Amino acid sequence: MGYARILPDEQTVSLIKSNQGEFKMSIRSTDCHAGRKLTIVMVAACPFPANHGSPASIREMSEALVRQGHTVHILTYPIRQDIPVEGVSIHRVRAPFLKSNEIKVGPAWEKFIYDPLMVLKLVGLIRKHKVDVIHAHNYEGALIGWLGKLLTGRPMLYNAVNSMADELPTYNFIKPRALAVFLGKLLDVLVPRTGDYVTMVSDSLKEFLLDKGVAAARLKVVPAGVNLDMFAHGNGAKVRAKHGIGSKPLVMYTGTLDQFQRLDYLLKAMQRTLQECPDAMLMIACNILHKGHQQEYLALAQELGIEKRLVFAYPVALEDLPDYLAAADVTVVPRPECPGHPVKLLNYMAAGKAIVSFEGGGKGLHHMFNAYLAPDHDHDSLGAGIAFLLQRKDLRDILGAQAKITLQGNFDWNTLAKGIEIIYHIMLEEKGAAGREQELARYLRSTYEIQYVDRRHSDQKVKDSGRSGGDRRKVQKRIDFLEQRKVAFSNSEPLQKVTQKPDKSKEEAA
């Protein structure tokens, strides 16, 4: 990487704590009425509902749109977890000869049967329910939605959450690896062009799509959202008692065990952490357990000599997630160079927890403002950051509080859903839609990258750093805490520091 993260000294830490002024942010107004209420079909080519990533975002987005008065139908697979979904109608394709109900992430052979069935059912739903907009999620959803669009003439919004060239080879589903990379690159070029409008969950993914030649006028960043109230009353003591953690320092990762999550980096980082905090424990709280991957990580932990400091918690139901996060002292995102926006990160922020992350996975974060960020792939720096925060409860509380405040008016679903609603009307080209771009800016930012503003010129606007893609953060000047204390989203007023912590679906058979 060419540099190492230097741990803040005592003078810097003192300055961070003393500069906790009144927090002000340009919270988006939520009092406008975007237009007539619509009927929307969400194309979710995945298990649904399920307690991870895209299915979780689709569920919460749909519920937020229903709260705004829209009618939402969700078209999905027959595979599901027992999670309530409020106010939407769920329609499932079915193949009686496929009995598996296992929740999987990534490619699977049964999808070659489910996906064509979804195309047929989508066309029927559009005609039966007079659907206004197709809202397709992920690559398979986009291809299914595109065929439905061609057959019915309905406009399609494509929600992009990842790039496929990097992710597809990690599943080891397509062999040889070179073929998976080629197919991923082809999908990265073709699929975004199927949508009449494209939303994506991060600025880096927008840059990626611009580099692929997708027209800028059709792109808008809509990050994944979170329901803040869900994490307000977690019972960490219950989790610590259940797993025998007691009062030991606890490092927490929540999510899947897929290779692209880079839990190998997390285990290597933990080895570094234990040099300074020998009593610390690492808990990997799984919503989906891949036993093959678990055995690989157990073997690596044994090789690193940290197997006695590692706990796997499975299964962790959605309703138990607030308790697990409440139990944590430090939460971790070990995925570098992530084009999407990790939902686990939003959960950490909503729980008000101290976060240590690689820079590439730290969407919406800034080093020592609302998280500790380590250079991508530098697991030693990641481990040093974990140890640093484990030894400083006061600093953990400050970073966790500011992480939670960052979400308000920016990453909450009520705000984001209002922006999505306006995009629907722009796509439909209804009367007055041409003037809605300005209205859209009330709810969706032009960028969700946080940057520093020099305090000596604190009234200046943050300049747009232009199209530099994933390299933007890498080449950014290292932060001098003694000179720069204001933080802002690009093209917005500076954020001030905080003084304290912020405090049934209807199913239709096929």
> Which helix (H) or strand (E) element contains residue 133?
strand 133-137
Q: Compute the average pLDDT of residues 22-43.
A: 64
The answer to whether 136 and 144 are in contact (CB under 8 A) is yes
Order of strands, edge to edge, in the sheet holding 372-374? 310-313, 281-286, 250-255, 330-333, 354-358, 372-374
- What is the pLDDT, as a whole number, of residue 505? 52
- What is the pLDDT, as a whole number, of residue 377? 95
- What is the pLDDT, as a whole number, of residue 455? 47
- What is the pLDDT, as a whole number, of residue 68? 94
Q: Compute the average pLDDT of residues 256-271.
A: 93
The per-residue pLDDT of the chain, averaged, comes to 83
pTM of the model: 0.73
| Residue 438 CB-density burial (10 A; 0-12 exposed, 13-18 middle, 19+ buried) | exposed
Q: Compute the average pLDDT of residues 164-189.
A: 84
What are 386's strand-pairing partners?
A: none
Per-residue confidence at 507, pLDDT binned at 50, 70, 90? low
Q: Compute the average pLDDT of residues 133-152.
A: 96
438 vs 34, residue with greater confidence: 438
- What is the pLDDT, as a whole number, of residue 90? 97
38 vs 360, residue with greater confidence: 38
Using CA atoms, how far residue 380 sits from 239, 333, 387, 399, in Å, is 28, 14, 11, 21
Q: Compute the average pLDDT of residues 82-110.
A: 83
The answer to whether 449 and 472 are in contact (CB under 8 A) is yes
pLDDT in tens, 402-417: 999 988 888 889 999 9
Using CA atoms, how far residue 125 sits from 35, 148, 168, 494, 508, in Å, is 23, 10, 30, 46, 11
* Percentage of the residues of the chain whose pLDDT score is greater than 90: 55
495 vs 244, residue with greater confidence: 244
Order of strands, edge to edge, in the sheet holding 506-508? 219-221, 197-200, 156-160, 133-137, 39-44, 71-76, 89-92, 506-508
- What is the pLDDT, as a whole number, of residue 481? 40
Given a cut of 60, is residue 29 above it in pLDDT? no
- What is the pLDDT, as a whole number, of residue 430? 61
Q: Specify which of 9-13, 115-119, 286-290 reaches the highest per-range mean pLDDT.
A: 115-119
DSSP letter, residue 217: G
| Residue 463 CB-density burial (10 A; 0-12 exposed, 13-18 middle, 19+ buried) | exposed
Tokens 């206004």 — which residue?
132
Given a cut of 90, is residue 489 above it in pLDDT? no
Instruction: Mean pLDDT check: name the lowest of 221-230, 358-367, 429-438.
Output: 429-438
* Percentage of the residues of the chain whose pLDDT score is greater than 70: 79
pLDDT in tens, 69-81: 999 999 999 998 8
- What is the pLDDT, as a whole number, of residue 431? 52
Given a cut of 80, is residue 261 above it in pLDDT? yes
pLDDT in tens, 302-353: 999 999 999 999 889 888 999 999 999 999 999 997 777 788 999 999 999 9
Tokens encoding 443 = 């709810």
- What is the pLDDT, as a whole number, of residue 30? 45
Per-residue confidence at 292, pLDDT binned at 50, 70, 90? confident
| Residue 355 CB-density burial (10 A; 0-12 exposed, 13-18 middle, 19+ buried) | buried
Residue type, 36: R
